[in-house]
Structure 1
Amino acid sequence: MKEHAFLARKLDVAAFAREGATLSGEWPALEFERVAEFAAPEAPASTWPPVQWTLTGERREPRGSEAQVWVSLEASAQVSLTCQRCLQPVREHLSMSRWYRFARTESEAAELDAESDDDVLVLSRSLDTLELVEDELLLSLPLVPRHEECPQPLLPPASVVTLEEASEDERPNPFAALAALKKDKG
């Protein structure tokens, strides 16, 4: 049996799974443009370590039904995002591991997706693994990136404290107005 030379950027998923092949590698973080958009300004994606990934194909033949195409993806990356407490860069480790089942058509994929918890994609003769890895990394980003303990103490800006104190001094005392009304009646 002839072994294929599979290309990660144009992967024939059916052949990849049929052979039970494995691909792995690393790509520079800058190639993941959508993830790089979340980079802290002080730590751009060009300073991040490369993204590691492994893809494994599998053909499953359940009893009484036709063969199924499955692919496993594992990826990990280290990104620097902006901490939402102190606004300084915070390094986040992203890691994911997921199996995908492939269906022949969009309608079959939608039906399988509704019936099970599996991730279902449409079978393609040219799957771009980089796009798949980037999609999963985007889903792995924390909603609110922050340090466990911020490196610098958080102090409220002086202008905020001054405004709060000034507004307290300017506010009239509601009871003083009531006392003035009582004096006018009496």
Structure 2
Amino acid sequence: MKQRQHDPLNLDVEVFARDAASLQGDWPAQSLERLVEGAAPESSVSDWPPVRWQVQGECRPVRGGQDQIWLHLQVDAEVVLTCQRCLKPMAVPLALDRDFHFVRDERTAAELDADSEDDVLAMTRHLDLRELVEDELLLDLPLVPRHESCPDPLPAVLGDADEFEEAEEERPNPFAALAALKGKGTPKA
């Protein structure tokens, strides 16, 4: 029997799972345009390592029902983001290991997804695996990227601590001004 060819950019999920097929490969990072949009401006995306991925299809039998369609996805990537402490570029490794349960329609997916720890998606005949990989990588990005310990911390804006204290002393206390105003407007008995 001839083994079927599966296209990761146009994947028939149900057939892929029923074949218990697997695919693997890598894509250049620049092919994931939405992921690249958040990159540090100083970084050259062409220098990023390729995004490595692997997917396995599976049909899980259910007693008294239809088999469940599953995809297991693993991805390794590295992006360069801007550290929010020192504003320097920093490499962020990303490693995904996800299972996706595919169901017949969007309504069922929404109902099951609310109650399940697994990701539940609606069945599609033509899944763009690269788009799914990019979505998952975007979800895995840190909200506030920052080094554990910045190589070059930003210089202090005001200089040393004495200058900061002097500037603080020169500024009038807004509550003292309010108390003075309050005292002037109240007639004395």
1:136 Cα deviation after fit: 0.5
4+ aligned runs moved over 6 Å, structure 1: 159-164
**What does the per-residue CA deviation read over 1:109-148, in whole Å, with 9 as the maximum and x for residues that have no partner?**
1222233222111111110000000001001101111111
1:159 Cα deviation after fit: 7.8
- Equivalents in 2 of 1:33, 1:19: separation in Å? 31
- Give the residue type in structure 2 aligned to 1:38: G
- Equivalents in 2 of 1:96, 1:132: separation in Å? 12
- Equivalents in 2 of 1:95, 1:80: separation in Å? 14
**What does the per-residue CA deviation read over 1:15-34, in whole Å, with 9 as the maximum and x for residues that have no partner?**
10001000010001111111
Instruction: Tell me what 2:19 maps to.
Output: 19
Is the CA contact (8 Å cut-off) linking 2:54 and 2:73 kept in structure 1? yes
1:62 Cα deviation after fit: 1.8
Is the CA contact (8 Å cut-off) linking 2:51 and 2:76 kept in structure 1? yes
Aligned pairs for 1:1-186 within 5 A: 1-158=1-158, 165-166=166-167, 168-169=169-170, 171=172
- Give the residue type in structure 2 aligned to 1:94: L
- Decide whether aligned partners of structure 1 residues 106 and 171 sit closer, same or farther in structure 2, where only a CA change above 3 A counts: closer
TM-score of the superposition, structure 1-length normalised? 0.85
TM-score of the superposition, structure 2-length normalised? 0.84
SS at match of 1:74: strand
User: How many residue pairs align between the two structures?
Assistant: 178
Is the CA contact (8 Å cut-off) linking 2:104 and 2:123 kept in structure 1? yes
**What does the per-residue CA deviation read over 1:31-83, in whole Å, with 9 as the maximum and x for residues that have no partner?**
11111111111113222111000010001112221111100010011111000
- Give the residue type in structure 1 aligned to 2:83: C
Q: Which runs of 5+ in 2 are unaligned?
A: 181-189
Is the CA contact (8 Å cut-off) linking 2:85 and 2:153 kept in structure 1? no
Which stretch of structure 1 is more off in the superposition, 32-41 or 43-52?
43-52
- Give the residue type in structure 2 aligned to 1:82: T
**What does the per-residue CA deviation read over 1:142-164, in whole Å, with 9 as the maximum and x for residues that have no partner?**
11111111111332124898687
Is the CA contact (8 Å cut-off) linking 1:36 and 1:44 kept in structure 2? no
- Equivalents in 1 of 2:112, 2:2: separation in Å? 32
SS at match of 2:120: strand
Is the CA contact (8 Å cut-off) linking 2:70 and 2:100 kept in structure 1? yes
Calculate percent identity across the aligned residue pairs. 51
Which stretch of structure 1 is more off in the superposition, 33-42 or 150-159?
150-159
